[in-house]
Amino acid sequence: MPVVQLADSEDRKETLASAVYDRLRQAIITVSIAPGEKLNIRALCDRFDVGLSPMREALSRLSTEGLVQQFDHRGFAVTPLSEEDLIDLTQARASLNELAIRNSVTQGDAAWEENVVLCFHRLSRTPRFEADSGDTRSAQWELAHRKFHSSLIAASGSKRIEQYCEHLFDGSERYRHVGRMAGIKGENRDGEHKALMEAAVARDADAAATLVKAHFEHTAELVRKVLRDRAL
């Protein structure tokens, strides 16, 4: 019985640590916690109503993902944003996604194709903003957006490449949210998403690769204009 209790206790700690990680990660990605901001661990514990141990574990995990910087004897800070980093991130993201979408278009089966169409349908039917707020992004849209982009490369044949693409997606989301906060609405994105879906369904690997690269670069260019006017 004591062994079972110990196991239950460890499971609860792991669940709590994962929950804190998810919440803190989301706050950083959506820029609710500003780029470059110093992270006071005790203040974060109060904010998220958790103890020191799960918070330290969450910060360590975020540090390995590059969303948080850890300094010897000086604690943690949110990784800052810069135009130079955005350019590098966009190039890496475009290159990997071009490869992944080419492979998916040529290798994907009927189930993959159906999922791409379904994810696009859900994305196109989901409002971008909360009904009671003109500028608050819908959490449902954010999830649908992520799932659509993931669906496009889900038949790449390489889980490792798909994971790298997900990691780069998170990095680019921070920049996109900076643009959103600056008033960039991205009205033309729906047409770009539709074109990507249609190229995938038509099994046109060249068009799909060209479109996904242009899609990422379009977003990056809009955000670069914001970064030039702000010190982040």
pLDDT digits (tens, 9 = 90+) for 196-210: 999 999 999 999 999
Q: Is 79 left (phi over 0), alpha (psi -120 to 50) or beta?
A: beta
> Can you tell me the mean pLDDT for 54-62?
93
Residue 56 has pLDDT above 70, yes or no: yes
- pLDDT, residue 92, reads 97
> Can you tell me the mean pLDDT for 7-11?
54
Tokens representing residue 71 in the block: 């300094």
Crossing angle between the packed helical segments 2-29 and 159-181, to the nearest 10 degrees:
50
Max avg pLDDT among 6-20, 118-132, 195-209: 195-209
**Is residue 47 very low, low, confident or very high in pLDDT (cuts 50, 70, 90)?**
very high
Max avg pLDDT among 1-5, 12-16, 221-225: 221-225
- pLDDT, residue 6, reads 41
Residue 2 has pLDDT above 60, yes or no: no
Domain with CATH 1.20.120.530 in the chain: 83-227
Measured CA to CA, the distance from residue 216 to residue 232 in angstroms comes to: 21
Q: Per CATH, which fold does 2-78 belong to?
A: Arc Repressor Mutant, subunit A (1.10.10)
- State which amino acid sits at residue 114: E
Residue 1 has pLDDT above 60, yes or no: no
Measured CA to CA, the distance from residue 63 to residue 57 in angstroms comes to: 10
Measured CA to CA, the distance from residue 204 to residue 215 in angstroms comes to: 16
Domain with CATH 1.10.10.10 in the chain: 2-78
| Beta pairing class for 75-78 and 68-71 | antiparallel
Mean per-residue pLDDT over the chain, rounded: 88
Instruction: Give 86-102 pLDDT, tens digit per residue.
Output: 999 999 999 999 999 99
> Can you tell me the mean pLDDT for 31-45?
93
- 1 versus 132: the higher-pLDDT residue is 132
> Can you tell me the mean pLDDT for 37-54?
93
CB 4 within 8 A of CB 49: no
Residue 60 has pLDDT above 60, yes or no: yes
Q: What does the DSSP 8-state code read for residue 64?
A: H
| Residue whose C-alpha is closest to residue 47's, from 27, 73, 70 | 27
Tokens 């490369």 correspond to: 153
> Can you tell me the mean pLDDT for 31-46?
93
The domain over range 83-227 is classified in CATH as 1.20.120.530: yes
pTM: 0.84
